[in-house]
Structure 1
Amino acid sequence: MHTLFLDFDGVLHPEFCHQSKHFSCLPLLEAVLRQVPACDVVVTSTWRHQYPIEVLRDRFSSDIQPRVIGVTPRFSHLEDVPDVLFGYEREAECNAWLRDNGRVMAPWLAVDDRSWLFRPFNQFLFLVDGKTGLTAPMAATLAERLRRL
């Protein structure tokens, strides 16, 4: 099973957009997920600090909701962070989730708009332009990347 680590702000809608535009790019992501059925979603967004997983899951269409299986732990709660990940909070959170859920060797991809939260040149990061959020061309590329995992 593949794991997609998902940020919200800057991915599912443009960063710093009006609340009325929240999740405006979600249909594009859901279309990608429908093309790659063997892919679970884990929320990495800071929204996980404000809302329980049930509320976050409810944002998704009913056919996608069962695939939203969790959230990453907070960096401040992590123990045994490898030195190589110490400056890269989101990647460390993803790695902790993979370890805690028996998926260390499973394929994964993080979709985010903040490259500095991951090690430079990380092959497991799919970078989105936070000014636009996920676009149709980016979604097509994302689908291809997930199929090649």
Structure 2
Amino acid sequence: MSLVLFLDFDGVLHPLHCHESRHFSNLELFEQSVRSINDLQIVVSSTWRLSRSLEQLRERFSQDVAKRIVGCCPPFRSLSDVPPSLVGYEREAECRAWLRANAAPWTLWLAVDDSPWLFRPFSKNLLVLNKRTGLDAAACVELRRRLNGVSP
């Protein structure tokens, strides 16, 4: 059984609203955190997916991690069957739509994001990061703990 990680970029792989020169400044930490997780698939949930192709997004990552990036979430505006319980939670609706279209409904998943209001409150499938730092060393420890905790 595989595990799906929904990945935001801004506020995760680099601080939110940082200068372009700092984009992906946390990428190495992220890659180190996910490399040892077997059967991990990564799906881009970041708004970067709206203006770049999947191949352009993969180019930001090391080759071994890029191979694990299997797709992007559909944009909320394109969804036609959003359950009423997810109408106010766009990112979670996008993640769940990707799961319905690409995986079994019981697939284990985790979203890493700095915008908790885009997910239902108290979601056990969400790791919320500090948007000012993104994925720092302490967040990496928690990410690995959560990934290992949900891995089969």
TM-score range, shorter chain: over 0.9
8 Å CA contact retained: 1:8, 1:47: yes
1:134 corresponds to: 135
Q: Distance in 1 between matches of 2:104 and 2:89?
A: 20
Is residue 12 from structure 1 mapped to residue 30 from structure 2 by the alignment? no
1:57 corresponds to: 58
Q: Distance in 2 between matches of 1:40 and 1:81?
A: 23
8 Å CA contact retained: 1:35, 1:143: no
List gaps (5 residues or longer) in structure 2: none
Q: CA deviation at 1:103?
A: 2.9
Q: CA deviation at 1:38?
A: 1.6
Which runs of structure 2 are paired with 1:20-59 in the superposition (5 Å)? 20-59=21-60
Q: CA deviation at 1:137?
A: 1.0
Cα-Cα RMSD:
0.6
TM-score, normalised with respect to structure 2: 0.96
SS of match in other structure, 2:100: helix
Q: Distance in 2 between matches of 1:25 and 1:103?
A: 31
Is residue 119 from structure 1 mapped to residue 132 from structure 2 by the alignment? no
8 Å CA contact retained: 1:6, 1:45: yes
Q: Distance in 1 between matches of 2:136 and 2:30?
A: 9
**Amino acid of the structure 2 residue aligned with 1:4:** L
Q: Distance in 1 between matches of 2:52 and 2:92?
A: 21
**Amino acid of the structure 1 residue aligned with 2:32:** A
SS of match in other structure, 2:70: strand
**Amino acid of the structure 2 residue aligned with 1:116:** W
Aligned residues: 149
**Amino acid of the structure 1 residue aligned with 2:44:** V
2:103 corresponds to: 102
Structure 1 ranges of 4+ moved more than 4 A: none
8 Å CA contact retained: 1:13, 1:25: yes
Residue by residue over 1:50-73, the C-alpha shift from the partner in whole angstroms, topping out at 9 and shown as x without a partner, is: 100000011000111110110000
Which runs of structure 2 are paired with 1:62-81 in the superposition (5 Å)? 62-81=63-82
The percentage of counterpart residues that share the same residue type is: 51
Q: Distance in 1 between matches of 2:60 and 2:38?
A: 19
Q: CA deviation at 1:37?
A: 2.5
TM-score, normalised with respect to structure 1: 0.98
